[in-house]
Homo-oligomer: A and B are copies of this chain.
């Protein structure tokens, strides 16, 4: 006898079935301080179970004035860099009774603002902004403004990448990692470097290039600006930049691609030209994307604990204090020498 056409069972249904008041039912099911008689509590629980009661989270949120929604905004969820971070966030959220909503900006930073507004509408507890900032970002000001509004409403914002927003931030030590890599490569004997960079506006790319140049400098090696090529921060970007670099005719002995995905593209370009890595040319990347650990020859790179980055961001959300100075968590990379570079004389 179609007991319910559509629309779910409510707390009232449960209360009625258990023969108690709404308040008692609420307390028995979701109340914090358990001050309900055991007998009644039992009846309520039984009623809820038999009715398949699921509390209306929206209504709870309204009544409580807060939600357990955390927004995660990435540039591209299909990019292993971001999906690893996302996995870290999800893992850390596990068991904390929070709902993670996913936003993908497709590398258009103005979308970040949209997501922030949406998150505010959802009364989200927090938003994690994962992704490199652009230097000349037209939307930087709009973002700052929206962040401020969101925080004024009581929300928490956590950023991942660079410290460019006055919020808790997981800073990825791109410069240091690239510097260390440069030092190791010089130690191997490399001297004439080329660099495959992303867009110059992209801070992550720029930091890695600067750090690399800095590391070379400390070892007394110069980096010829003519051999620093800019392309898309993708496989194809690396492929094309490498082609251009090879066409330029510079006599290089090692190439640093600012991320693994670009490095893989570069490797493909080398292969096409019959250039052997590492025999004819050393090649290094950055990130240590786990899916790419088995490329051959194995890529020398800077390992970033991406899942830990995500987990750390989530920890910052959980431990967000009332309103203090923004905190910073620094995460360093670790140079991993593999077969794409070798000792040369």
Residue ranges of A at the interface with B (Cβ–Cβ < 8 Å): 4, 6-8, 52, 54-59, 61-62, 65, 67, 72, 76-80, 83-84, 86-87, 90-91, 94, 99-104, 106, 117-118, 120-123, 149, 152-154, 235, 261, 264-265, 267-268, 271, 289-296, 307
- On whether the beta carbons of B294 and A235 are closer than 8 Å, the reply is yes
**What is the copy number of this chain in the assembly?**
2
User: Smallest distance from the beta carbon of A124 to chain B beta carbons, Å?
Assistant: 9
- On whether the beta carbons of B78 and A123 are closer than 8 Å, the reply is no
Q: Which residue of B lies closest to A100 (CB)?
A: B102
The CA-CA distance from A103 to B100 in the complex, in Å, is 7
The CA-CA distance from A264 to B296 in the complex, in Å, is 10
- On whether the beta carbons of A87 and B80 are closer than 8 Å, the reply is no
- On whether the beta carbons of A90 and B77 are closer than 8 Å, the reply is yes
- On whether the beta carbons of B55 and A58 are closer than 8 Å, the reply is no
User: Smallest distance from the beta carbon of A112 to chain B beta carbons, Å?
Assistant: 14
- On whether the beta carbons of B67 and A78 are closer than 8 Å, the reply is no
Q: Which residues of B contact A261 (CB under 8 A)?
A: 291
Residue from B52, B83, B235, B265 in contact with A77 in the complex, judged by beta carbons closer than 8 Å? B83
Residue from B58, B78, B100, B307 in contact with A122 in the complex, judged by beta carbons closer than 8 Å? B58
User: Smallest distance from the beta carbon of A99 to chain B beta carbons, Å?
Assistant: 6
The CA-CA distance from A54 to B120 in the complex, in Å, is 7
User: Smallest distance from the beta carbon of A89 to chain B beta carbons, Å?
Assistant: 9
- On whether the beta carbons of B295 and A296 are closer than 8 Å, the reply is yes
Give the 5 A-B CB pairs with smallest separation, nearest first.
Answer: A78-B87, A83-B83, A102-B102, A90-B104, A6-B154
